[in-house]
Structure 1
Amino acid sequence: MTQSNKYKYKVVVLLIILSVFPIHVLAASNELDIPAKSAIAVDFDTGKILYEKNSSEVLPIASMTKLISAYLVYESVKTGKISWNDSVPFDDTLIKMTENPDLSNIPIKKELTYTVEDSLKAMLISSANVSTTGLARLISGTEQAFVDQMNLKVDEWGIKDAHFISASGLDTQDLPKEDRYPNSKDDDANMMSAKSMVIVAKHLITDYPEVLDITKQSHYTLFQGTKDEQTYWSSNLMLPDLYYYTKGVDGLKTGTTPNAGACFIGSTVQDGHRIITVVMNVDEKYSRFEVTKNILKHIETYWEYQEVNKAGSNAIVEKADVPNGKVETVPLIIKNSSSLWVNKQTSELKQVFNQKNDKLSAPLKKNVIVGQQVTTDINDKLGYLDQKDTGQATSDVMTKTDVLKANIFVRAWRSIKNSIK
């Protein structure tokens, strides 16, 4: 990521611009018009896509790359390949890179020891490129070998649109010659779609949820209590004490290069649901954080996670036949609640009952599962992150009461009546 501190000094100008060029929610609809090449918002738990714009388009991802690098750091610690207290090596070339004001870094002093934990914080909070390269070299020997691991990892996750040439997200032209990926051109960049970035975030947070303890920090301090003590601030301005603070935001990563423009992948707990947002190549007249806030507001306004099948309520098919029962039908109720993301303006719910046993026989106990009630939104056009997910809210349907078996005379009489019919 190239230096993002410049954004902190453009806040006043940006506010004036935003008042002239507002981000629109189109009148009389729930469509959101955002100034970004690509964007997506996904519910973390269900994979429901709540907003998208060109989310499959493959674009430069800049320092959002560091989430894949972070995953490999956590994985290497878990397997014992490295430990949190290991020293990260920085040669003279990398130390010299930290003096480049156009690149995001923290100062590296040769006489100081920077641990894996220190460097991970610098990578995720300050977007420090040199810290990322140092970690890559420690884990894999060379940055090129680490990039190969990155490619293998995303392939393991089913991501097919990724192209990596660096561990940090820097383009080839910004890398030291010894770290340039073989056969890469000067303008080569790490590439991926917004949709695939969400998959990365889901794997990282699911497998290593402790990453949020780092990404939620608005600042951190190295060498605390010594003459070298220094506090560094996050590039994510949606965190507490920063300009675009938004309640519930606890990550994840900014990204900025000339090729990528301003990018941001966010993690926000809103109304009890973790929402992963991605905005890529945001128009320079706008803030990526303001665009993200508008997406979150759009979701809050137009979407709700609705209980569509309520435990204990009557099933849509309220009773089932029990031909040999003392009573010939048994009431049916929902066993377990299930919910669905519903658009308040456009959703149209369809419910069906799938009976697995249409020949119930007495004696019959209550709470016997007889089928399932399935609810879908037939107007849903956005779908789910996993394309195989049909977006169904499914609940078991069970008998509400016991049904005793009718005596032989009653059964015989019913048989006669049925034969006459």
Structure 2
Amino acid sequence: MIYLLYIFILFILFFLLFYFYFKKNNSQSSIKHLYLEALDMLLSGKKNSAYKNFKEVVTLDSDNIKAYIYIGQILRENNNAKKALSIHKNLLLRSNKTAYETIQIYKNLSLDYYEFGNVEKSILYCKKILDLNKINDWAIKFLIQLYKKSNDWDNAIKYLKDYFSIIGKYDNNKLALYKIQLARFSILHNDFESARSLLERALDLDNELFIVYYFLGNTFAAESNFIFNKSISKDNDNNSLSIENDKNANRLEAEKILTKAVPMWVHFIENMPQYSWMILPTLKDALQALNRYEDIEKYLIQINMKKTNDVDILSHLADFYANKGQVEQALDTINQALDYNDKSLLAQLKKIKIISLKKNEKELSVNIDTIISSLLKDSRYKKYKQSYNDKNMVWLFETNMVYDNEK
């Protein structure tokens, strides 16, 4: 009897063990199925369905950190970054995280903070990823993006070089473009020598990056303005002989520096004549300020030989002849420009000005000059002209970087 009882008890124990083992395996299989189905939904763009599945997964298995990470990701992508951040921060408190899961949590925290506009915190969690994995491709690329967004081009360049080291391939053109952006930022902060040094290094990296000459000219022009403005500020000081001498010295120094901008801009236009509109008005103003107005004709003819019938170059050349009183030559030149492009608003206005001069309507001519000046400064006109075809120009001028005060 006792023997039968033992057998019965053993049978019950065996049955219970088998039942719970089967139930556990079945439950794990169900969780795995739900999780994989959720991943498939997420990849298919069915975020709401994926969210429901992931929620069911964590209900059945509260230790499933990956599912929680995805729940937070979906919330962030559905404009609920606050809830996403809360979920991902709570996951940091879990003690059962793998190294991979920790990296994924840091990645999502970086993206959460980025969504909030907190670039500093976003950078912090990217760097935490690199503490665990120094060659994490995503973290390095996102750090480059973050530093670009915050105009920290020094660090953007640093991590760009790190990225090149990881992939084992250097892109000198891209590195040169980053150095140009850092130089532009240096110009804004009146650090002209550093800007020129960076631009020269950019040319060393890519000697066909002719946009560098545009910015080199800008460094000299900006420095010239900086020094000239110092002489103006002294006008309010006591009018002693020493102060007057200082002002004159500053003005002479400003002219000397501005002179260096001219060949840089000319070289830029010669090699990228399709972008002559970017600098021609400034070049003309600089030559006038230097009492070298006659040189305008020489440079415009020289540049036009590089790209015959460029409407902007011919329009400015016609304007030069008109201002010298050579009206017939001005008319011939502007008609040549309009033959090339009869839709050019600048050329049409220049022609009206020249005709008004021919009729001795000087007041009308002055008014048209005012309109032309306003047009060239108008943001809508600039946007219309800025149809960059050169990939480097697109990257430099159509990124999110803003240089409102750039000279």
**TM-score, L = length of structure 2:** 0.24
Rg comparison, structure with higher value: 2
Higher helix share: 2
**TM-score, L = length of structure 1:** 0.24
